């Protein structure tokens, strides 16, 4: 009866999910990710047929698989970008626990596929590398712990996150997987630095890492062989590094031409760890600079947006994800040009790989979710209010 007299109250309808997502997402970073994926498919068309031929598959067997894995990675990325930071954090904690248990179980049920490091679970039709999924989960969990330590009567989050980091590094070193260990340590160090860590403490931690590296060199033949190969003044042209270095030199500025490269016939990992050598040989410096620019754009734009973020958890987690993403790309390309010892690390969204592609899709999805524009304002609003 009241509505008949006074009329119904207007109902406030919220903004639909997709328009709101499109309005708040970093479109430049999203576009760079999609372009990197397209470049990965393009390079896969060049690098994969020789390997498929050697393994008795159809010429584009690995390209098709990369498209399937990449499609799953993009779906995971888009779904993650639409989640709230609280939901992302909850799912990241669950994913971290599952991945951590999987890493612990590798010595008992894992396989090395003849590469000298037990990093994978073989499923017959595919394989899973749990450390790839462990990285983004650890970054989110560690950022949560560190940010909680800033609360009044909060837990000792910095100490807890560091202890967790050491445990993870220990299990990764047992595989051995020193590349992923370094990335985990780096991600924690970046977040700890942004949270206000003393520079002296970081220098001490850097010295401890060098000490651990020296110990690993003396106790691990796998690690020592890679370091010796990197430090040797003579580069064997029949090694993967030798083939990659020669391919990059042959490519020059514009490359030798599409499909004309030879390195893909010599490198067993041309489609994964040394995909940048294929890009440099066939398309030249032009494509390599474009790839570097795309990675730099994603990292720079993410960090700029995070500098304006008020929530310390989002600031720390986003910084860890962005810097780890950029450093992984730098390591992969640095290995190919012999600036770094061989690490066995993929080039994000460009290299072939199931676990790495899907995990990177989740990781970048988290980053894009954390850097979305939010209605509560920016940190500059607080600073202006205090004046």
Q: Give 231-287 pLDDT, tens digit per residue.
A: 666 665 667 777 788 888 888 888 888 777 878 877 777 778 888 988 999 999 999
Q: Return the pLDDT at 236.
A: 59
Range of the domain at 307: 25-372
**Residue 246 falls inside a structural domain:** yes
**Residue 134 falls inside a structural domain:** yes
pLDDT in tens, 14-34: 678 888 899 999 999 999 999
In this prediction, the residues of the chain whose per-residue pLDDT falls under 70 are 1-14, 220-226, 228-238, 375-387
**Residue 168 falls inside a structural domain:** yes
Find the distance separating the first CA and the last CA of the chain, reported in whole Å: 53
Q: Return the pLDDT at 212.
A: 72
Record the pTM: 0.88
Q: Cβ-count burial of 374 within 10 angstroms (0-12 exposed, 13-18 middle, 19+ buried)? A: middle
The label of the residue with tokens 């700029």 reads: 304
Alpha helix (H) ranges present in 105-236?
106-109, 130-148, 157-173, 178-194, 199-219, 221-231
CA-to-CA dists, residue 42 to 7, 71, 221, 272, angstroms:
61, 15, 37, 13
**Residue 125 falls inside a structural domain:** yes
Q: Return the pLDDT at 146.
A: 94
**Residue 88 falls inside a structural domain:** yes
CA distance 368 to 347: 19
Q: Return the pLDDT at 38.
A: 95
**Residue 120 falls inside a structural domain:** yes
Supply φ then ψ for residue 119, to 5 degrees.
Answer: -125, -10
**Residue 2 falls inside a structural domain:** no
What's the Rg (C-alpha) of the chain?
Answer: 23
User: Which H or E run includes 312?
Assistant: helix 312-336
Q: Return the pLDDT at 265.
A: 78
CA distance 318 to 302: 8
**Residue 230 falls inside a structural domain:** yes
Q: What is the DSSP letter of 261?
A: -
> How many domains would you assign to the chain?
1
CA distance 345 to 180: 8
Q: Return the pLDDT at 376.
A: 59
Q: What is the mean pLDDT of the chain?
A: 85
**Nearest-CA neighbor of 264 among 36, 84, 47?**
47
């Amino acid at each position: 009866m009241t509505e008949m007299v006074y009329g119904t109250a207007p109902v406030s309808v919220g903004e639909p999910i997709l328009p709101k997502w499109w309005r708040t997402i970093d479109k430049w970073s999203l576009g760079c990710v999609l372009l990197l994926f397209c470049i990965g498919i393009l390079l896969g068309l060049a690098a994969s047929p020789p390997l498929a031929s050697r393994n008795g598959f159809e010429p584009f067997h690995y390209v098709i698989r990369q498209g399937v894995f990449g499609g799953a990675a993009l779906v995971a990325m888009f779904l993650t970008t639409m989640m709230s930071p609280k939901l992302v954090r909850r799912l990241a904690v669950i994913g971290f626990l599952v991945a951590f248990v999987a890493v612990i179980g590798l010595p008992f049920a894992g396989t090395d596929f003849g590469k000298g490091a037990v990093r994978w679970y073989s499923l017959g039709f595919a394989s899973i590398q749990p450390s790839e999924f462990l990285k983004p989960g650890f970054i989110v969990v560690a950022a949560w712990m560190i940010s909680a330590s800033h609360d009044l009567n909060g837990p000792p989050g910095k100490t807890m996150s560091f202890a967790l980091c050491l445990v993870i590094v220990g299990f990764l070193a047992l595989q051995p997987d020193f590349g992923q260990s370094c990335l985990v340590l780096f991600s924690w160090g970046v977040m700890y630095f942004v949270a206000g860590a003393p520079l002296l403490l970081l220098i001490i931690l850097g010295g401890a890492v060098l000490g651990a590296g020296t110990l690993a060199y003396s106790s691990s033949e796998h690690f020592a062989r890679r370091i010796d190969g990197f430090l040797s003044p003579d580069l064997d042209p029949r090694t993967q590094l030798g083939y990659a270095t020669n391919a990059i030199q042959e490519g020059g500025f514009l490359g030798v031409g599409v499909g004309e490269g030879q390195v893909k016939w010599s490198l067993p990992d041309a489609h994964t760890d040394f995909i940048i050598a294929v890009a440099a040989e066939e398309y030249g410096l032009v494509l390599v600079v474009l790839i570097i620019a795309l990675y730099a754009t994603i990292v720079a734009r993410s960090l700029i947006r995070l500098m304006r973020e008020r929530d310390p958890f989002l600031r720390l987690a986003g910084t860890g994800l962005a810097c780890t993403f950029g450093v992984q790309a730098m390591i992969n390309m640095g290995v190919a040009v012999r600036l770094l010892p061989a690490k066995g690390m993929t080039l994000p969204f460009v290299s072939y790989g199931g676990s790495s592609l899907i995990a990177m899709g989740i990781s970048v999805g988290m980053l894009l979710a954390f850097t979305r524009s939010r209605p509560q304002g920016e940190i500059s609003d607080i600073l202006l209010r205090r004046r």
